[in-house]
Structure 1
């Protein structure tokens, strides 16, 4: 299997000494897992390389024949100001270091003395460049108001402005080196969003999903990190962990709110240090996967109770995608119903039925604790039981508990009492007046749909139509 390249854009190493270039390349590979490198020992070729391909960073020797590091630093700064340049010198000269920083270098290191500091500096420069790119993308999304890759979100059926704004944010942060946290109630589509992030950032790379709910600390470690032969009883051969399987791609960890505090410590180290240990080994391995994590629980509430580490909570908040519940975007009901009826008809090998007018309004009275997943299950079950040409309301009424109580389920009103039309005046109304109030309120809650309003009132549509004519209430067009 071909080894995935890291980082996405190559780092250009420039030095006239081939031996030093080889040594530096080995250091970066061993310390940071960086294998996407271009080595250049001829200073006059640097600008040609930059003109031919995108470069993520330049590590530049200061003293070289033909063109010096300072000369190249000025040229790069003028033509490619977005590329970070780190200067490497054989001498520790303060004046030279200051001059290079003034010319645009992001850092300056002494070759033989500061390899550890150089590694940290490269990590910081990569993170800073990634953050600048995210900021530019986010600004562009806000200004343009349009998606660059709408096809990526085609499987997420929505007309909601909230969801469109969420998609714009996801496009801006998808390629970030920081972990991305997805929150939302069960059934809102967290894994669909995670897959969209993967498709935006690295569509050809591995996608590995792990549900960590119910994993104790040992199983969590073994699943993610893998083990060496003989690491524990029964470990008769080496096993690759999911982090290694996801190299170059995306590791999706679902239900992280269920992790034990011990496992949380290991996850924090993995995200902060970018390294882990196979069980049974004391040799650190570099993680070269992007992390997307999800939960349906309130992590802030958990950490306030001491059940979730505060430092891990804030580490995960770098990029936070919260998916609204279905009851917060009821405008999506018609498009979701249409999509799920299409899917169900294909899956069950049935003809798509005529969907009764007002079904979306009926379902809008229900809270949908299972969100989109629950709605999809309703549609599949309804079509499984369906026999005639036109689909009946009856199954959906039963599914949402309509008519099982004295009053059918109604959407909670947030309007003041005087706007709802249901508050009694000081004088009790007559039965005729009360009838008018109830009919008017039923039509308001049904958003003008007579079929649904008649269901609320427990009468036929014809009966409601007669009452509306008598009351001179405008009928549904």
Structure 2
């Protein structure tokens, strides 16, 4: 964005007292982070400004020369019903407040030196206006059946109508500041969707991403909020957190379903109020980051069994994108197959990608792909490594049959506890942990025919975890 304005619509301040206009503007800029502001001292100009500018909220004084605030309130409510009006006046009388609310004012405040309560009310009104505008935008975009910025989705290989509907929804919420929850099974491409949203938002600063699975409460706070010097042992210097680094861009938090209850409380306050404290700090900070969160967990089930906070669960439902699994959009398999074959050939330095026999797409379409697109990619890359001229339909068939066998009977290739124990009891010496890790890694890769995704599933670890173990094993051998 060339200029980062918040909110996307203008907030019109109307008051004949210039000092109050200046002080309220400073407070809105500082405490509220609101910088899309228009000032007006002459009440006769208000209707023209609303008519010509993208005004969504008017902060209106009642006692002004020329045209009174009450007259303006009535006219605005009748002529511009989508524009919210908050009355901020020095008249502390109940009958005035009641009269204004009946005419159509969203809220009523008395001028005071403590503007925090007023700012809170203004931010609340802004959120409601944003939601109303987003709702209208979603309806209009879905009716047009087109994309305004198709380049934002160029990295996602699909021909699915379900995915196209998701793209339309992403465009409709691009200008919103509300958090976005992305759900879907492992391997469906949640981070790709987050990056598509980032591109649709057209931020100048790069997106900031972090996987928060496995972070304890202390690590979660330090990673997101940073710390002050001396906050804990080893904190020799102050460090900014990812929230501060992601100011005015997207902060993508992956695997939020694994957060502890205490971390969930901190995340809720961050999303709800945009406020946080750095570790060891006593200064309240505000953020303009846009939060995008992802999980492969069923948050509703976790919430119902008490593992996920109810208030955080409902806070995350403002914008929700659920990515369908690959088995529900099998029309994408031929496209993805061709895409991954070309990518693998390029990575291996082949002059031409191998040919794809016609039976292979149909063969792959009969497989459920529990690992979704990530699993398809691993199968294709492995086959391209084996067959650099023409892919083998039999090779794909063998891999799929083997995976289906493991899915239906996961214990088929695993020794029982007693058998495993007997192996060690009969040994002359017990192997070290490192040796056992190397033996298990090698055995799993051998059983899986070199396929790391399948080997990782046998070992009960993630594919990145297996890759680290393979690297560690190679390093020990080289030493």
Does the pair score TM above 0.5?
yes
SS at match of 1:39: strand
Q: Does 1:370 align with 2:371?
A: yes
CA displacement at 1:116 relative to structure 2: 4.3
CA displacement at 1:146 relative to structure 2: 3.4
Contact kept, 8 Å, 1:213 with 1:256, in 2: the verdict is yes
CA displacement at 1:105 relative to structure 2: 2.6
Measure the CA separation in 2 of the matches of 1:66 and 1:340.
Answer: 70
Measure the CA separation in 1 of the matches of 2:58 and 2:254.
Answer: 37
CA displacement at 1:261 relative to structure 2: 1.5
Measure the CA separation in 2 of the matches of 1:238 and 1:90.
Answer: 44
Aligned length: 406
Contact kept, 8 Å, 2:359 with 2:393, in 1: the verdict is no
CA displacement at 1:318 relative to structure 2: 2.7
Q: Could you report, residue by residue, the CA deviation over 1:199-222 in whole angstroms, capped at 9, with x for unpaired residues?
A: 223433441111101211111101
Q: What does 1:136-175 align with in structure 2 at a 5 Å threshold?
A: 136-175=136-175
TM-score using structure 2 length: 0.77
Q: Which residue is equivalent to 2:227? A: 227
Contact kept, 8 Å, 1:202 with 1:249, in 2: the verdict is no
Measure the CA separation in 1 of the matches of 2:139 and 2:38.
Answer: 32
SS at match of 2:31: helix
Q: Which residue is equivalent to 2:300? A: 300
Measure the CA separation in 2 of the matches of 1:170 and 1:403.
Answer: 35
SS at match of 1:400: helix
Q: What does 1:12-27 align with in structure 2 at a 5 Å threshold?
A: 12-27=12-27
Contact kept, 8 Å, 1:212 with 1:255, in 2: the verdict is yes
Q: Does 1:39 align with 2:39?
A: yes
SS at match of 1:292: strand
Q: Which residue is equivalent to 2:342? A: 342
Q: Does 1:386 align with 2:387?
A: yes
CA displacement at 1:193 relative to structure 2: 0.9
Measure the CA separation in 2 of the matches of 1:369 and 1:176.
Answer: 33
Contact kept, 8 Å, 1:85 with 1:107, in 2: the verdict is yes
SS at match of 1:294: strand
Q: What does 1:173-188 align with in structure 2 at a 5 Å threshold?
A: 173-188=173-188
Measure the CA separation in 2 of the matches of 1:99 and 1:131.
Answer: 27
Q: Does 1:285 align with 2:299?
A: no
Q: Which moved more, 1:65-74 or 1:193-202?
A: 65-74
CA displacement at 1:313 relative to structure 2: 1.9
Measure the CA separation in 2 of the matches of 1:6 and 1:107.
Answer: 20
CA displacement at 1:340 relative to structure 2: 2.1
CA displacement at 1:78 relative to structure 2: 5.4
- The RMSD of aligned alpha carbons is 2.8
Q: Could you report, residue by residue, the CA deviation over 1:220-251 in whole angstroms, capped at 9, with x for unpaired residues?
A: 10111111222122222221111111112211
Q: Which runs of 5+ in 2 are unaligned?
A: 410-479
CA displacement at 1:257 relative to structure 2: 1.1
Runs of 4+ in 1 over 6 A off after TM superposition: none
Contact kept, 8 Å, 2:158 with 2:332, in 1: the verdict is yes
Measure the CA separation in 2 of the matches of 1:400 and 1:113.
Answer: 70
Measure the CA separation in 2 of the matches of 1:233 and 1:308.
Answer: 31
Contact kept, 8 Å, 2:171 with 2:197, in 1: the verdict is yes
Measure the CA separation in 1 of the matches of 2:392 and 2:194.
Answer: 36
Measure the CA separation in 1 of the matches of 2:138 and 2:52.
Answer: 27
Q: Which residue is equivalent to 2:243? A: 243
Q: Which residue is equivalent to 2:110? A: 110
Q: 1:383 to 1:85 in 2, by over 3 A?
A: same
CA displacement at 1:404 relative to structure 2: 9.5
SS at match of 1:401: helix
Q: Which residue is equivalent to 1:435? A: none
Contact kept, 8 Å, 1:4 with 1:247, in 2: the verdict is no
Bigger Rg, structure 1 or 2: 1
